């Protein structure tokens, strides 16, 4: 699936011309980037997924699934603050998004654990 998305993106780039793209071309290209981001997340490639989700958001800032996928990629790369910010935006636009709500709880828990570990290390350092 990732190869098919990448191939379709190459064709869209060739057909689209230079940015800024008209909405009729930006929408399908954003969908392709968001789809490729999902494939890359499933393949364990969070940096590539974050890049493609970011490209989708550059084309369509209101694309909630691209924002959610970028948050998942950021969390996978331990950028918990960026993940929490994107997840909060998803929940602001769609409060019933169960995946975003679940992931935000997980990200906040991971941030608390990270901060507690850091506090223990600093406490030992200055004790």
Omega of the bond leading into 20 within 30 degrees of 0 (cis): yes
Backbone φ and ψ of 77, nearest 5°: -95, 10
Tell whether domain 25-126 is in CATH 1.25.40.10: yes
pTM for the model: 0.83
The pLDDT value given to residue 124: 85
Q: Are 86 and 106 in contact (CB under 8 A)?
A: no
Share of the chain above pLDDT 90, in %: 69
Q: Average per-residue pLDDT in the chain? A: 89
* Per-residue pLDDT tens over the stretch 61-88: 999 999 999 999 999 999 999 999 999 9
Average pLDDT of the segment spanning 103-122: 95
pLDDT exceeds 60 at position 33: yes
- For the chain, give every domain's residue range: 25-126
């Amino acid at each position: 699936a990732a190869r098919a998305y990448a191939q379709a993106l190459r064709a869209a780039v060739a057909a689209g011309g230079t940015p800024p793209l008209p909405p009729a071309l930006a929408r399908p290209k954003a969908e392709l980037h968001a789809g490729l981001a999902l494939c890359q997340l499933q393949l364990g490639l969070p940096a590539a997924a974050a890049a493609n989700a970011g490209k989708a958001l550059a084309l369509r800032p209101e694309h909630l699934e691209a924002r959610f996928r970028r948050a998942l990629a950021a969390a996978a790369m331990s950028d918990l603050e960026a993940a929490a910010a994107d997840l909060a935006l998803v929940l602001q636009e769609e409060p019933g998004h169960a995946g975003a709500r679940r992931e935000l709880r997980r990200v906040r828990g991971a941030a608390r654990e990270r901060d507690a570990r850091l506090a223990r290390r600093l406490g030992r350092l200055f004790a």
